[in-house]
Amino acid sequence: MFFLVQATDYHRHRNLLDRMYRLRKRVFHDELEWDVPVIGEFERDSYDDLSPAYLLWTDEERTTVYGSLRLLPTTGPTLLNDVFRRTYPKDLDLCHPTIWEGTRMCIDADEIAQDMPEIDPQQAMCMMLLALAECGLDNGIHTLISNYEPHMKRIYKRAGAPLTEVGKADGYGRRPVCCGLFEVSRRTIAQMREKMELSGLYVRDGAKRPTGAANAAWMSGGAGDQRSSWINAA
């Protein structure tokens, strides 16, 4: 299931959030060797202290985290403006209550391969994007903005997501860092669902899905052998 954890519900999902921080450490610090803050087994930075919302992908029992993403409003501190300001034009104002930043998007490819072998890593990232769009629409967000490495553009394309790249810059690592805007609308979501042949993924308030064959279609996909984690840049 895909659901949103906001600050008021941190205490209810502490175990899942701890698993998320461990996943982030494995992906961003251990595998990608990024210069990110690490506290023991956790990857956490100062933006995690700002009461962000987290989109989590878990099993129905909420014991396994398959993927996660952090959401922050652009009206406050963001990686976009504090770290990656050179990735978009100086005359472009991206601070607005309905524009939110998505960062630290990652999946646990090993857990997905074990529990859902029909889903390859690229499809898993596409599913994260669809759930993100559905979550954004449900919470009054009309634009999502993200910094990402160039390879992520093919994920957006596969997902049918309308990505508008507004700039990019070198000097942040081995690859350029791009800045893109992702429209959140009913039209966007319908387009993505059609492209991926999926129905709704996001579940408001983390309510459990009914079980049974009628709900099997939400997780269609092709088999894949790749076992790497897919991430966005920030």
Query: Beta strands of the chain (E only): which ranges?
Result: 2-5, 38-39, 42-43, 53-58, 65-73, 99-107, 143-148, 163-169, 177-183
What pLDDT, on a 0 to 100 scale, did the predictor assign at position 176?
A: 92
What pLDDT, on a 0 to 100 scale, did the predictor assign at position 232?
A: 58
What pLDDT, on a 0 to 100 scale, did the predictor assign at position 214?
A: 33
| pTM: predicted TM-score of the whole model, two decimal places | 0.87
pLDDT along the chain (234 residues), means of 10: 96 97 92 82 94 97 97 97 95 96 96 97 97 97 95 95 96 88 97 95 70 33 36 56
What pLDDT, on a 0 to 100 scale, did the predictor assign at position 206?
A: 61
CA max distance for the chain: 52
What pLDDT, on a 0 to 100 scale, did the predictor assign at position 223?
A: 31
Residue 3 has a CB neighbour count (10 Å cut-off) of 23
Query: Beta strands of 36-112 (E only): which ranges?
Result: 38-39, 42-43, 53-58, 65-73, 99-107
